[in-house]
Homo-oligomer: A and B are copies of this chain.
Amino acid sequence: MDTKTLCLGVLTHGDASGYEIKKAFEDGPFGHIQEIGFGSIYPALAQLLKDNLVTVTQYTQEGRPDKKVYSLTATGRLFLLDALDEPTEPDKVRSDFLFRMMFAHLLSPSALEAMIDERMAVLTEAIAGLEQRANSGFAPASETFIDGYALAIYRAMADYIEENRYQLVSASLLPQRAVAE
């Protein structure tokens, strides 16, 4: 999924500015799909406009820069539908955390513990946020589904780490073996 398609997707949920699209990829259920920055969004939106897949309305604001609100066109909606019809690419993950865990035996126990604690804190916070959102108000089925999916994964991660961290920590207690090999 390139940035253009991602923007089109957010716009099916209602008109939005570039700034608001960015927020959608931080807070809401789009946040679990992938990250994007302004440096990708603004050029993508300009391209979509040129291709007539979106239209724009500019709002003048007091004490703030103008706001450009984009709307899907009929062509844009069809373009998205076509993109959705293409074969689904496998999920891609990039885990700096797992990479570090791969080298538990090269790390000091305290450094390792700190990394794991930090990860647990992040997970616990994410879980709390999702639980709160689940219990507050109604959302479309797709959003509920995706939040629930993310919650299930975060819980599985946290539970697994909590139950198995001792394995890594005991491996880290014997760093001389790794060096000797």
Contacts and interface: CB of A to CB of B under 8 A. Distances in A.
Contact of A95 (B32, B111, B156): B32
Contact of A94 (B92, B107, B157): B92
A68 to B, nearest CB: 23
A29 B102 contact: yes
A91 interface: yes
B98 A33 contact: yes
Interface string A149-170: 1001101110111001001101
B94 A88 contact: no
A88 B118 contact: yes
Contacts of A167: 141, 144-145
Contacts of A100: 84, 88
A99 B156 contact: no
A146 interface: yes
Contact of A12 (B81, B92, B106): B106
Interface centre among A101, A102, A115 (most CB of B within 10 A): A102
A164 B142 CA distance: 11
B98 A149 contact: yes
A81 B32 CA distance: 31
Contact of A91 (B29, B96, B144): B96
